[in-house]
């Protein structure tokens, strides 16, 4: 019991410390949020260019991951999983090089991945809403599942043309939502800082009764 209370107190202290940092630097959070929103709008305005950029980024990350797997496998000689590491490294390296050399092909692969994700996610949400009777916001979960399936059908019906805009569009929307969350955090931190300063000023201005 004491350990639970102590853990809870530690979490509260960490959260308070994080909020203090945010309050002290709310301007940076606001600037980051606005920048992400602007970049997200640019990405939506040019979905093909932003999609190609995402494809190239993922390609380079796969290449770096493949090299890291290979280095780890050779440095861990005698380990039974070394062969698996080498095979994974070669797979990552091959896919990464393919995406870098031909980012449009990478966009096609990413679009298929997004399509499969929407299908699986939609089916899972609908099944969850049907089987779990006391699920909170059950109706919204069902609607969310249906919307995921509708998106999957639309993207699939437009494939492969949809590959030219799906990834860039989703990337831009994600950046806008992330930026908006940073803006909201900054505004809340700024409001908290103002109320804290006002409270401190009132305490200083009150005459001592001692």
Least trusted range by pLDDT, from 89-98, 113-122, 136-145, 169-178:
136-145
pLDDT of residue 38: 92
- Specify the DSSP element, H or E, that contains 177: helix 166-205
Least trusted range by pLDDT, from 11-15, 78-82, 163-167, 196-200:
11-15
Residue 210 has pLDDT above 80, yes or no: no
Q: Give the list of residues 6+ apart from residue 117 with CB closer than 8 angstroms, or none.
A: none
Determine what percent of the chain falls in helix, strand and coil, rounding each to the nearest 5: 90, 0, 10
Residue 120 has pLDDT above 60, yes or no: yes
The verdict on residue 48 lying in a domain is yes
Q: pTM of the predicted model, to two decimals?
A: 0.64
* Cβ atoms of 92 and 72 closer than 8 Å: no
**Whole-angstrom Cα distance, residue 203 to residue 210?**
14
pLDDT of residue 60: 92
Give the total number of structural domains in the chain. Answer: 1
* Residue 127 belongs to domain spanning: 38-184
The verdict on residue 190 lying in a domain is no
In the 8-state DSSP scheme, what is residue 208? P
The verdict on residue 138 lying in a domain is yes
């Amino acid at each position: 019991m004491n350990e639970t209370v102590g853990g809870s107190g530690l979490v509260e202290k960490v959260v308070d410390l994080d909020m203090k940092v945010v309050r002290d630097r709310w301007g940076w959070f606001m600037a980051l949020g606005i920048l992400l929103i602007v970049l997200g709008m640019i990405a939506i305005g040019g979905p093909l260019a932003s999609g190609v950029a995402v494809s190239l980024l993922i390609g380079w990350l796969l290449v770096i991951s493949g090299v890291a797997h290979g280095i780890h496998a050779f440095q861990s000689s005698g380990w039974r999983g070394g062969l698996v590491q080498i095979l994974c490294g070669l797979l990552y390296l091959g896919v990464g090089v393919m995406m870098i050399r031909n980012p449009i092909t990478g966009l096609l692969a990413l679009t298929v991945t997004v399509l499969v994700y929407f299908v699986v996610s939609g089916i899972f949400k609908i099944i969850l809403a049907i089987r779990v009777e006391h699920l909170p916001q059950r109706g919204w979960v069902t609607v969310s599942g249906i919307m995921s399936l509708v998106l999957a059908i639309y993207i699939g019906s437009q494939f492969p043309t949809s590959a030219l805009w799906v990834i860039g569009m989703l990337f831009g929307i994600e950046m806008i939502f992330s930026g908006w969350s940073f803006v909201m955090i900054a505004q809340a931190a700024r409001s908290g800082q103002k109320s804290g300063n006002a409270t401190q000023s009132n305490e200083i201005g009150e005459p001592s009764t001692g």
